[in-house]
Amino acid sequence: MSLRYPCVSLLVLATAAFGQVTRQATGVKVGEVSPTSAIVWVRLTANSHRNTGGIVLQSPEGKNLPAGMKVSSLEGACPGTAGRVRVRYGAKQDLRDAKATEWVEVTARTDYSHQFRLTGLEPATLYHFSAETAGPGGSPKHGSLRGSFQTAPPPDTEADIKFTVITCQHYRDMDDSEGYNVYPAMAKLAPRFIVETGDNVYYDGDAPHATTIEIARHHWDRMYSFPRHIAFHLSVPGYWEKDDHDTLSDDCWPAMLSKMLPMTFKDGQRVFLQQVPMGDKTYRTYRWGKAVQIWLPEGRDFRSPNNADDGPQKTIWGAEQKSWLKASLLASDATWRVLVSPTPIVGPDRGKKGDNHSNAAFAYEGNEFRQWVKQNVARNFFVVSGDRHWQYHSVHPETGVQEFACGPTSDEHASGSPGYDPNYHRFHRVKGGFLSVSVNRTGNLNTIAFRLHDVHGAVVYEYVQKNPSR
C-alpha cells in the first residue's frame, strides 16, 4: 500500500473571537435554497481535518477493506464524534442580527450530522451563517465555520442568475491534492448555486468498495473534506442529485442483484439523504426569479430493470414522477425552463449502454418524452445532463430537443464517447470541466447562455439564445 496523495495543506477555519480549532472536517453544505428557505447540513467530527497520512488502498488488490482494518486509518478519513450542533444566521456579516437554531445532539445514527431547515427568510437576500459545534452537553466549545448564501428572488422579479453544473467525481482521478481544479474555477464565476448531478462518489469504482454503510459514509467524508471543496460550499449553495455510483453500483436499479452486499440499494438511498441537504424528496423543482426554473428529476428510485423488455410500461422516472414533471413544466411561466438530469435524454450514448433515455433500452419513454417536449415546451426548454464522461451540445434530429453535457470533473476521468456525430452534435469534446448557465436581462431582452468550461475555467464552447416566442 502506498499514499496516493502528498501531504495536503490544511484548511483550518476558527472563530476570530476565541480561536478554537474547528471540529467540522467535512465542511458545511447549504442546499435546497428557495426565496424563503434553505437547509444547512452540519457534521461534528473527531478531528479538525481529514486524515492526510492514512492508508491508501490500491486497486485491484485494494477493492475491499482488509479484515481488521479500521476505516479511520484510511487516507481522507473524517470520523465523527458525539456532541451538539447549531446554526446562527442573519443578514449582517458580523451576525449582530443573527437568529439561532436550537442545539441538536448528534450521534452515530445520523453519522453525527444534522440538517437544519431555515424558514421565514427574505427573498433575494444574502445571509451569513456560523455553523457551531460543541461536545456532549455543550462542553467543550469548538471553533465555528462561517459562510454565506443568497436566497432566490421571487418568481415575479427580474434577476440575473448564474449557476454551475458538475458530474462524476471519481476519487482516484482527482487532479489536485487540495481537491478538484473545477472548484476554484467555478468560485471565480460567483455562481448563485451549483447542481451536482450525481456520481458524487463512486461506491463501486474507488477503493475500498462500499460494502457497508460505514465505508459508504467514508466515500462522502473524504470527497467533501478537501480544502477547495469546503471553501466552495461555504459560499455556494447546492442542489444534489444521485445516480448509480452514489446509490449502489454501476447502472443499478432497486431490485438489482447487488454485488455490494451486505450493503443494499435501500442502504444507498438512506446514506444519500443523510449526506446532502435536501429533505426527503429526491425529485423537485426550484424557481429563480422570473427568468429561470430548474427541474431535478430522480433517475434511480423508480426505474424498471435496465434489461427488461422495452415498451409503455418500462420507465426510468415512474408514473407519478413523470406526471409531476409534465404538469409542472406546463404550469411554469418562467422565461427559461432547464431540466437538469442525472443521465442523458438526447445523447447520443454508446450503443452497448442500456441505462438512460438516449439508449435503446429506454427508447419508448425517451421518444415519448422528447415528442411531448416538442409539442408543449420546445421553445424555451433545455436539458442539462450529467453522467457522461465527455462534454457536448446535442440537438435531437427529430424533435429539436437541446442537451448540454457538463463533462466529468477532471481530464483524467474523461473517456468513453462514441465519437462526434454530425446528426446530433453542435459541440463534442472528450475532456473534463463543468457547465455554467447564465440568464441575463438587458432592457426588454432576455438571454440564456450555456458555456462549457475546461477544468481551469476557460470557456471552450458557448451557446446563447434570446427571448423565446411565447
pLDDT tens track, the chain, 470 positions:
223 333 333 444 433 334 579 999 999 999 999 999 999 999 999 999 999 999 999 766 668 899 999 999 999 999 999 999 999 999 999 999 999 999 999 999 999 999 999 999 999 999 999 999 999 999 999 999 999 999 999 999 999 999 999 999 999 999 999 999 999 999 999 999 999 999 999 999 999 999 999 999 999 999 999 999 999 999 999 999 999 999 999 999 999 998 999 999 999 999 999 999 998 899 999 999 999 999 999 999 999 999 999 999 999 999 999 999 999 999 999 999 999 999 999 999 998 899 999 999 999 999 999 999 999 998 899 999 999 999 999 999 999 999 999 999 999 999 999 999 999 999 999 999 999 999 999 888 899 999 999 999 999 999 999 986 54
Q: Report the distance separating Cα 216 and Cα 263, nearest Å.
A: 9
The answer to whether position 396 is within a domain reads yes
The answer to whether position 220 is within a domain reads no
61 and 192 belong to one structural domain = no
The answer to whether position 156 is within a domain reads no
172 and 129 belong to one structural domain = no
121 and 196 belong to one structural domain = no
Q: Report the distance separating Cα 343 and Cα 167, nearest Å.
A: 10
The answer to whether position 372 is within a domain reads yes
| 339 residue type, one letter | L
36 and 166 belong to one structural domain = no
Q: What is the CATH number of the domain that holds 35?
A: 2.60.40.380
What distances in angstroms separate CA 198 from CA 18, 122, 210, one per listed residue? 38, 30, 16
Q: Report the distance separating Cα 214 and Cα 21, nearest Å.
A: 26
The answer to whether position 216 is within a domain reads no
Choosing from 84, 116, 150, the residue where a domain stops is: 150
137 and 171 belong to one structural domain = no
The answer to whether position 20 is within a domain reads no
Provide the pLDDT for residue 9.
38
Total count of residues recorded for the chain:
470
- Which of 115, 129, 121, 112 minimizes the C-alpha distance to 46? 112
* Three-state DSSP class for residue 331: helix
What distances in angstroms separate CA 183 from CA 174, 409, 433, 453, one per listed residue? 12, 9, 10, 12
Determine the Cα angle at 235 with ends 233 and 236, to 5°.
Answer: 65
Choosing from 131, 150, 169, the residue where a domain stops is: 150
322 and 281 belong to one structural domain = yes
Task: State pTM to two decimals.
Answer: 0.95
The answer to whether position 218 is within a domain reads no
420 and 281 belong to one structural domain = yes
The answer to whether position 323 is within a domain reads yes
Query: Cell 456532541 maps to which residue?
Result: 83
Query: Strands (DSSP E) along 233-288, which ranges?
Result: 238-240, 284-288
456 and 338 belong to one structural domain = yes
404 and 346 belong to one structural domain = yes
| 468 residue type, one letter | P
Query: Strands (DSSP E) along 113-219, which ranges?
Result: 113-118, 126-134, 145-150, 161-166, 193-196
Choosing from 128, 150, 172, the residue where a domain stops is: 150
- Which of 310, 301, 215 minimizes the C-alpha distance to 255? 301
Cell of 462: 458557448
Q: What is the CATH number of the domain that holds 300?
A: 3.60.21.70
- Given a contact cutoff of 8 angstroms between Cβ atoms, the answer to whether 390 and 350 are in contact is no
Provide the pLDDT for residue 80.
98
Domain interval for residue 97: 28-150
334 and 422 belong to one structural domain = yes
Domain count, the chain: 2
Annotate 171-196 with b (16+ C-beta within 10 A) or e (fewer).
bebbbbebbbbbbbbbbebebbbbbb
122 and 195 belong to one structural domain = no
189 and 82 belong to one structural domain = no
